[in-house]
Structure 1
Amino acid sequence: MDQAPGLALFDFDGTLTDREMFPDFLRTATPRARVALGTVLFAPLLLGYRLGWVSAHFLRERLVSYCLRGLDEQVYARSGERFAREALSPVLRPRALERLRWHQQRGDTVVVVSGALDVYLAHWCRAQQVDCLCSRLEVMDGRLSGRYAGAQCAGEEKARRVRAHYDLARYGEIYAYGDTHEDLALLQLARHRYYRGEPVD
């Protein structure tokens, strides 16, 4: 009897890459006139984040609103495509990418489940021939509203989206890979869990 296919769930930032890429993308996509002022305005929030007083979820919402509100949809799309093409390959972790390839060779369904924005992550996932569940921004009348379209794909939302898109009961083995507390709900879906590259119970 053939073995049931496996499911491999990968976080992106910090798991497949060696750092979080969201700030790098914002720096490339934000209109120049906003960058210098934003550095000053967000200094207290960034300090609060580093001290654990401000959540990553809250900080991302505020950054998106300030940096990208009103940006033309087509300009945003071009920024994302260019970022995926030029910025992601150099920061990929070789061991993590090898693991992703191992799952593909086994015939597993591979899914990147990330709070990263679809405008660049979806391009990368298509090139790697893997599925993608991630965050999207709202567009109104051809411009970004400065809000997320639905919930950020982080924390419990990661697990909710996986359950909504995949029938977990049909997979023989489920693997999950993450690196922060925002990945813990995702890891709980799996029998084989890896945190910062190491297996965990």
Structure 2
Amino acid sequence: MKLALFDFDGTITTRDTYTKFVISNANIFRLILGGFLLSPLILLNKLKLMPSPVLRPVITKLAFKGTKVDDINQSAQEYVHKYLPTVIRPNMLHQIKKHQESGDRVVVVSASISPYLKIWCKGLGIDLICSELEEKDGYFTGSYVNGDCSGQRKADSVKNTINLDSFEQVIAYGDTKEDHAMLKLAHESYFRGKPFSANDC
């Protein structure tokens, strides 16, 4: 059996899905407060002075702290069924299904958050490792269970969850430098559709 590891945003999709989901689930108060508090951090991120793995948890905390799990999950269902199909790359969906038909284990490994990714992956019958939102007493705390699933943490999460030695071949797909550590785990890697080499970093 082979193992196929797929990043989600930008690899399976044509664009970032995290930001749109956050905005679509934040009420007007949170949007205004977020715009006021986060605009300096977002500017730093645009200037490449603050990495996305540092900014994302801050945005997530502001957007989801104290929100009802049932409400967000219901919104995630609609997001998966109405929006995600419009941004999924047909060639990557075909590649996922090709791996499945070959009997390979397919895992999405993403820094995006769990509410909608769980639904999407379950619908395709594939596994998921992602930035999982922490739940307590029916509410999201706004924190991640195991941190932002990007960069080295993405690779470590794969190794801590999956016994890579049990697969004859590992194949990985990514599109940003946050995927490099995961791509290096694989025997065969693709970066933005082209073969990836550790020398490309």
TM-score (norm 2): 0.92
Match of 1:127 among 114, 123, 127: 123
SS in 1 for 2:185: coil
**1:189 alignment partner in structure 2:** 185
- Counterparts of 1:158 and 1:65, CA distance in 2: 20
Deviation at 1:177, TM superposition (A): 0.3
**1:90 alignment partner in structure 2:** 86
- Counterparts of 2:69 and 2:169, CA distance in 1: 40
Deviation at 1:16, TM superposition (A): 0.2
Where does 1:26-175 land on structure 2 (aligned, <5 Å)? Answer: 26-175=22-171
- TM-superposition CA deviations, 1:104-124 (whole Å, max 9, x none): 121111110111111100100
Q: Is the 8 A contact 2:56 2:148 kept in 1?
A: no
Which sits farther off after the overlay, 75-84 or 118-127?
75-84
Code of the aligned partner of 1:47: L
Code of the aligned partner of 1:119: P
**1:11 alignment partner in structure 2:** 7
SS in 2 for 1:87: helix
Structure 2 portions without partners, runs of 5+? none
Deviation at 1:135, TM superposition (A): 1.2
SS in 2 for 1:18: coil
- Counterparts of 1:138 and 1:183, CA distance in 2: 23
Deviation at 1:143, TM superposition (A): 1.9
**1:178 alignment partner in structure 2:** 174
Code of the aligned partner of 2:172: A
Deviation at 1:36, TM superposition (A): 3.0
- Counterparts of 2:62 and 2:178, CA distance in 1: 23
- TM-superposition CA deviations, 1:153-172 (whole Å, max 9, x none): 11112212222222211211
- TM-superposition CA deviations, 1:84-114 (whole Å, max 9, x none): 2221111011222221122112111111011
- TM-superposition CA deviations, 1:3-62 (whole Å, max 9, x none): xx1110000001000111110000111122221332233222111111100110111111
Percent sequence identity over matched residues?
37
- Aligned-CA RMSD value: 1.3
Q: Is the 8 A contact 2:171 2:186 kept in 1?
A: yes
- Counterparts of 2:134 and 2:144, CA distance in 1: 5
- Counterparts of 1:41 and 1:98, CA distance in 2: 41
- Counterparts of 1:128 and 1:152, CA distance in 2: 24
TM-score (norm 1): 0.92
- Counterparts of 1:170 and 1:69, CA distance in 2: 39
- Counterparts of 1:63 and 1:83, CA distance in 2: 19
Deviation at 1:125, TM superposition (A): 0.4
Deviation at 1:81, TM superposition (A): 1.9
